[in-house]
Amino acid sequence: MSKPKVLLLGQIEHAHAAWESIKSIAEVITPVSSCRRDFLVEASSGGFDGCVAAYRTFDSVAITGKIDAELLDALPRSVRFICHNGAGYDQVDIQACTARGIRVSNTPTAVDDATADMGIFLLLGALRNLAVGMAALREGKWRGDPLPELGRDPQGKILGILGMGGIGRNMAKKARAFGMKIWYYNRTRLDPKVEKEVGAKYVSFDELLAGSDVLSLNLPLNDATRHIISRREFAKMKKGIVIVNTARGAVMDEDALVEALESGQVSSAGLDVYEFEPQVHPGLLKNPRVLLAPHMGTWTVETETKMEEWAIGNLRLAITEGQLRSVVPEQRDM
User: What domains can be seen in the chain, in order of their start residue?
Assistant: 5-110+302-331 (3.40.50.720), 112-292 (3.40.50.720)
Closest to 236 in 3D by CA, of 257, 260, 216, 210: 210
Mean per-residue pLDDT for 227-254?
A: 98
pLDDT band at residue 192, thresholds of 50, 70 and 90?
very high
Confidence of residue 97 (pLDDT cuts 50, 70, 90): very high
Q: State the pTM of this model.
A: 0.92
Q: Which of 149, 197, 262, 277 is catalytic?
A: 277
Residues in Cβ contact with 197 at an 8 Å cutoff, skipping those fewer than 6 apart:
none
41: nearest Cα among 10, 8, 74: 74
Which of the four pLDDT bands, split at 50, 70 and 90, describes residue 334? confident
Per-residue pLDDT, averaged over 33-41, amounts to 97
Annotated catalytic residue 281? no
Q: In angstroms, what CA-CA distances link 215 with 24, 107, 149, 158, 284?
A: 47, 25, 20, 9, 17
pLDDT tens digit string along 199-229?
A: 999 999 999 999 999 999 999 999 999 999 9
pLDDT in tens, 113-172: 999 999 999 999 999 999 999 999 999 999 999 999 999 999 999 999 999 999 999 999
* Encoded amino acid at 318, one letter: A
CA distance 195 to 289: 33
Contact 34, 11 (CB under 8 A): no
Is the C-alpha dihedral spanning 123, 127, 129, 130 positive or negative? negative
pLDDT for residue 33 is more than 80: yes
Residues 318-326: what's their mean pLDDT?
96
What is the structure's pLDDT at 1? Answer: 64
pLDDT-derived band at 28, boundaries 50, 70, 90:
very high
Distances from the Cα of 81 to the Cα of 44, 104, 129, 237, angstroms: 18, 6, 46, 42
pLDDT attached to residue 96 = 98
DSSP code of 296? -
Can 56 be counted among the known catalytic residues?
no
pLDDT tens-digit series, residues 75-87: 999 999 999 999 9
| Residue 306 DSSP label | H
Among the listed residues 84, 103, 248, 316, the single catalytic one is: 248
Cα-based angle 90, 217, 196 (whole degrees, multiple of 5): 115
**Phi, psi for 8 (deg, rounded to 5):** -100, 115
Q: For residue 227, indicate whether it is catalytic.
A: no
Of the residues 36, 295, 325, 330, which is catalytic? Answer: 295
